[in-house]
């Protein structure tokens, strides 16, 4: 299940407080600056630094070039 658009507008990385990329097909929120991914479990984003995982160069490229990726944290 996709994350709600309103929620996506509010989400940011818990460490650097910057925007994330949401890739629905992979159930992941990705921080390309820190190269860490946060899992989305049952439409609940798990934004705990201890639960994040590092991302390889290939996965980084795939996530940042995914045309369906949406940037979070756009609420002002």
More confident residue, 19 or 75: 19
62 inside domain: yes
76 inside domain: no
- Per-residue pLDDT tens over the stretch 10-65: 999 999 999 999 999 999 999 999 999 999 998 899 999 999 999 999 999 999 99
Number of domains in the chain: 1
CA-angle at 31, arms to 28 and 35, nearest 5°: 100
53 inside domain: yes
22 inside domain: yes
Exposed/middle/buried for residue 10 (C-beta within 10 Å: 0-12, 13-18, 19+):
exposed
- 74: confidence class by pLDDT, cuts 50, 70, 90: confident
- CATH number of the domain that 47 lies in? 2.20.25.10
32 inside domain: yes
Rounded Cα–Cα distance for residues 2 and 54 (Å): 23
59 inside domain: yes
Domain that holds residue 18: 5-71
What are the residues whose beta carbons fall under 8 Å from the beta carbon of 57, sequence distance 6 or more? none
């Amino acid at each position: 299940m996709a994350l709600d658009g309103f929620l996506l507008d509010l989400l940011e990385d818990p460490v650097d407080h910057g925007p994330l990329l949401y890739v629905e097909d992979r159930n992941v929120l990705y921080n390309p600056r820190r190269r860490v991914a946060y899992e989305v479990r049952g439409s609940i984003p798990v934004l705990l630094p201890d639960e994040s995982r590092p991302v390889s160069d290939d996965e980084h490229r795939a996530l940042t070039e995914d045309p369906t990726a949406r940037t979070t944290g756009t609420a002002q």
